[in-house]
């Protein structure tokens, strides 16, 4: 099977410093602290073309800007999932349809959808880590004939903390040979599904479903604890680090290699990433 090939050094090719004025066209509450925000340029078009895995800087003048994974895109819009965690994201949560924002992007590289063709696809996400994974999952399902079996393993603290519930429970499971596995961390009234943290749930799904470690591409995104424990579980189960894909966009700030915030071991995540294989990450210091 051909090796998964990820492109690097994908610096922004346009004008990276000047935001494109955009208008909010749709806001969808996902959880108590996560909203999906859909925007388009003032002329009614998408602000740019993008690929699954790339990121965007969304600004709310004069309060500041934040980097987000592009969670979804259409012919005339892009969408991000914004978790309220600070000053700027709180302002984003206060936006209304019709408000104007600034958009810079797209930044970084993308998930290797071309070199994954012909493989089974295993997606693993936790909480807001679903946003970039959902973009890749959506691409795969839109080109379903190019890929093998598809499994999504997703966990959240509670049912109310799960994002993209419509896709998880109504849309994705209806696609041929697509299997969605969802757990929550703590038992609660009204939930009759699995109760488990992501790593042990992942191990259970792999064993129960008999998922192969050969001819598979694994995409993993979540918080530091989830990332560490799932990475260790995959390693113990014998998955090849070259077949495990992840994204480090959490560390990106300016997007153009100037602020230095995302510098790790001689690499700028905004210029060299944010998408890497686990094999490639072995050469980057863990911190």
Q: According to the CATH classification, is domain 120-281 in 3.40.50.80?
A: yes
Which of the residues in the chain have pLDDT under 50?
none
Residue 141 is predicted with a pLDDT of 98
Torsion over CA: 173, 179, 185, 187 (sign): positive
Residue 267 has what pLDDT? 79
pLDDT tens digits, residue range 157-168?
999 999 999 999
- In angstroms, rounded to a whole number, what is the distance separating the alpha carbons of residues 137 and 134? 5
Residue 270 is predicted with a pLDDT of 82
Q: Give dist(CA 190, CA 199) in Å, integer.
A: 23
Q: pLDDT tens digits, residue range 131-177? A: 999 999 999 999 999 999 999 999 999 999 999 999 999 999 999 99
Which CATH fold would you assign to the domain 20-107?
A: Elongation Factor Tu (Ef-tu); domain 3 (2.40.30)
- Report the pLDDT value the prediction gives residue 233, as an integer from 0 to 100: 97
| Per-residue pLDDT at 286 | 61
Give me the residue spans of the domains in the chain: 20-107, 120-281
Torsions phi, psi for 90 (to 5 deg): -65, -40
Q: What pTM was estimated for this model as a whole?
A: 0.94
- Burial classification of residue 177, based on how many CB atoms lie within 10 Å of its CB (0-12 exposed, 13-18 middle, 19 or more buried): exposed
CA 122 to CA 237: how far, in whole Å?
A: 14
- What pLDDT does 147 receive? 98
Lay out the sheet containing 120-126: strands in order across: 178-184, 150-156, 120-126, 216-221, 244-247, 275-277
Q: What does the pLDDT read at residue 33?
A: 96
User: Of the candidates 149, 109, 129, 118, which has an alpha carbon nearest to the alpha carbon of residue 220?
Assistant: 129
Number of other CB atoms surrounding residue 182 within 10 Å: 18
What pLDDT does residue 287 have? 54
């Amino acid at each position: 099977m051909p090796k998964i090939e990820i492109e690097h050094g994908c610096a922004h090719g346009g004008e990276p410093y000047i935001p494109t004025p955009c208008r909010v066209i749709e806001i969808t509450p996902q959880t108590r602290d996560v909203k999906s925000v859909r925007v388009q340029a003032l002329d009614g078009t998408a602000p740019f073309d993008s690929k699954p895995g790339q990121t965007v800087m969304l600004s709310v003048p004069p309060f500041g800007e934040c980097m987000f994974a592009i969670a979804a895109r259409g012919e005339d819009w892009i969408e991000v999932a914004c978790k309220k965690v600070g000053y700027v994201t709180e302002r984003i949560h206060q936006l209304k349809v019709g408000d104007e924002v600034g958009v810079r992007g797209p930044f970084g590289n993308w998930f290797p959808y071309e070199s994954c063709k012909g493989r089974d696809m295993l997606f693993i996400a936790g909480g807001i880590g679903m946003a970039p994974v959902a973009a890749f999952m959506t691409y795969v399902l839109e080109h379903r004939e190019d890929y093998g079996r598809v499994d999504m393993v997703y966990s959240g603290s509670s049912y109310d903390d799960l994002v993209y519930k419509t896709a998880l429970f109504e849309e994705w499971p209806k696609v041929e040979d697509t299997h969605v596995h969802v757990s929550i961390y703590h038992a609660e009234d009204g939930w009759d599904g699995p109760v488990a943290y992501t790593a042990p749930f992942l191990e259970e799904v792999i064993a129960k479903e008999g998922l192969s470690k050969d001819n598979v591409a694994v995409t993993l995104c979540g918080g530091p604890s989830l990332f560490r424990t799932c990475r260790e579980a995959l390693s113990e189960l014998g998955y090849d680090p070259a077949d495990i894909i992840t994204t480090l966009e959490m560390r990106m700030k300016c997007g153009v290699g100037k602020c230095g915030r995302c510098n790790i071991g001689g690499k700028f995540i905004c210029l060299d990433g944010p998408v890497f294989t686990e094999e490639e990450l072995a050469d980057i210091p863990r911190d």
